[in-house]
Structure 1
Amino acid sequence: MDKVCAVFGGSRGIGRAVAQLMAQKGYRLAIIARNLEVAKAAAADLGGGHLAFSCDVAKEHDVQKTFEELEKNLGPVNFLVNAAGISRDSLLVRTKTEDMISQLHTNLLGSMLTCKAAMKTMIQQQRGSIVNVGSIIGLKGNAGQSVYSASKGGLVGFSRALAKEVARRKIRVNVVAPATGNCILS
């Protein structure tokens, strides 16, 4: 069976590094980002056989459409990486409500929607792997990042619960919590 990996947020940063590693391991990749041209460039850098898609993970219709297209062109997804994320750092009292909503929708709801879409195929296959990219900030918190911390902390709880829901179907769900060099933790 083909090894197909969908990397949401795969055009830069951690997502791009994961995509490079998965390509080296023989996966056919779907590089997904909001900006299609950037996603195409990232996919082209990996060599042949990889495709690029544009998707706003905060929109369920976009996510569903993206999964339909990528599975039509690459085959069933058996590995999902959720690396799409945004940060709008600010003290809570200065944070605009629309910035709160966009962080929660992209960082938490987006991963929920992509996992939900991937589950359909993974349950049928009775196998699959999901890696959600969180942050150490979601575990420890950081001044000026309360909303970002909430979104990434929610991702940890979601991932743990989903792992318990689908373990008997031989689907693994993990969350990684990298630290960034520019944050100070207590």
Structure 2
Amino acid sequence: METKEIRRAAVVTGGGRGIGRAVCVRLAKEGCDVCINFAGNAAAAEETAKLCREAGGEGIRVMTVKADISREEEADRLIAEAVEAFGRVDILVNNAGITRDNIMLRMSAEDFDQVIGTNLRGTFLCCKAVTRTMMRQKYGRIINLSSIVGIHGNAGQENYAASKAGVIGLTKSIAKELASRNITANAVAPGYIATDMTANLPEKEKEAILAGIPAKRIGTPEDVAEAVAFLASEKAGYINGQVLGVDGGM
């Protein structure tokens, strides 16, 4: 008797641009239904949705949901709307992130709190919101976006580095807690990736970063998306609690 193949459904936070967009399109290409979360730029999210439909072909269901994932009620609503639309959520990619860079002496407590709120608290809230659904399914893949900065630190980014280091600790703890339910949790730590977030860096700083990359090239959002897609696949079922660097050898 043939077993009916399950179409996987994914939620990607911060899916409107950059790495999030590349992840959405890559998962759509794998045949997943995709829920694209965005905080403010509806036009960018709709462009991602268009690209997902083109990549996934007929039958792929794609939706966009505006939600501030640093707020518990909105993180809960994001997951609830995805479950209502797709009937399930198999993959959660916590990609949403912000920066408020400054040297520590000039960094305000508000800037610190905002970055922690989105990057770390938001990741926790979305993981918590999706856990019950994944436990009922006895299946789930959680992929949290950390950063090389969360491993090595970076001057002028105490808030961002702290948030991304926290994501690693959170991921490893979730992995231990949910492994028996056939749910994995892994982190991806990108290095220097060509996105809107890095485009505004001074040229001298870009040159210095490039000099420190053994691969001698800047990464692309698609490089990161390939790593996420693998960890989100059924083939990665025995990989859990790991941090996969996508950094060209940095």
Please tell me the TM-score bracket, short chain as reference. over 0.9
Structure 1 residue 42: Cα displacement: 1.3
Could you tell me which residue of structure 2 aligns to residue 9 of structure 1?
Answer: 14
TM-score, scaled to structure 2: 0.71
Could you tell me which residue of structure 2 aligns to residue 65 of structure 1?
Answer: 77
Structure 1 residue 39: Cα displacement: 1.6
Could you tell me which residue of structure 2 aligns to residue 38 of structure 1?
Answer: 44
| SS state at 1:46 partner | helix
Residues 106-128 of structure 1: CA distance to partner in whole angstroms, max 9, x if unpaired? 00000000000110100111110
TM-score, scaled to structure 1: 0.95
Structure 2 gaps, min length 5: 1-5, 54-59, 194-205, 213-249
Match of 1:101 among 96, 103, 113: 113
1:3 and 1:170 mapped to 2: Cα distance? Answer: 15
Structure 1 residue 41: Cα displacement: 2.3
Q: Which has the larger radius of gyration?
A: 2
1:4 and 1:53 mapped to 2: Cα distance? Answer: 14
Could you tell me which residue of structure 2 aligns to residue 86 of structure 1?
Answer: 98
Could you tell me which residue of structure 1 aligns to residue 138 of structure 2?
Answer: 126
Which aligned pairs between 1:17-36 and structure 2 lie closer than 5 A?
A: 17-35=22-40, 36=42
1:105 and 1:31 mapped to 2: Cα distance? Answer: 20
Would the aligned equivalents of 1:92 and 1:144 in 2 still touch at CA under 8 Å?
yes
Alignment of 1:160 with 2:172, yes or no, is yes
Give the stretch that moved more between structures: 21-30 or 45-54. 45-54
1:68 and 1:118 mapped to 2: Cα distance? Answer: 8
Structure 1 residue 37: Cα displacement: 3.3
1:24 and 1:2 mapped to 2: Cα distance? Answer: 12
Residue type matched to 2:36 in 1? I
1:58 and 1:66 mapped to 2: Cα distance? Answer: 12
Residue type matched to 2:85 in 1? N
Would the aligned equivalents of 1:39 and 1:54 in 2 still touch at CA under 8 Å?
no
Could you tell me which residue of structure 1 aligns to residue 187 of structure 2?
Answer: 175
Would the aligned equivalents of 2:7 and 2:31 in 1 still touch at CA under 8 Å?
no
Structure 1 residue 70: Cα displacement: 1.6
Residue type matched to 1:7 in 2? V
Would the aligned equivalents of 2:100 and 2:115 in 1 still touch at CA under 8 Å?
yes
Residues 8-43 of structure 1: CA distance to partner in whole angstroms, max 9, x if unpaired? 011111111111110000000000010233222211
1:58 and 1:2 mapped to 2: Cα distance? Answer: 29
Aligned length: 186
| SS state at 1:122 partner | helix
Structure 1 gaps, min length 5: none
Structure 1 residue 74: Cα displacement: 1.7
Residues 153-175 of structure 1: CA distance to partner in whole angstroms, max 9, x if unpaired? 00000100110000011100000
Residue type matched to 2:171 in 1? S
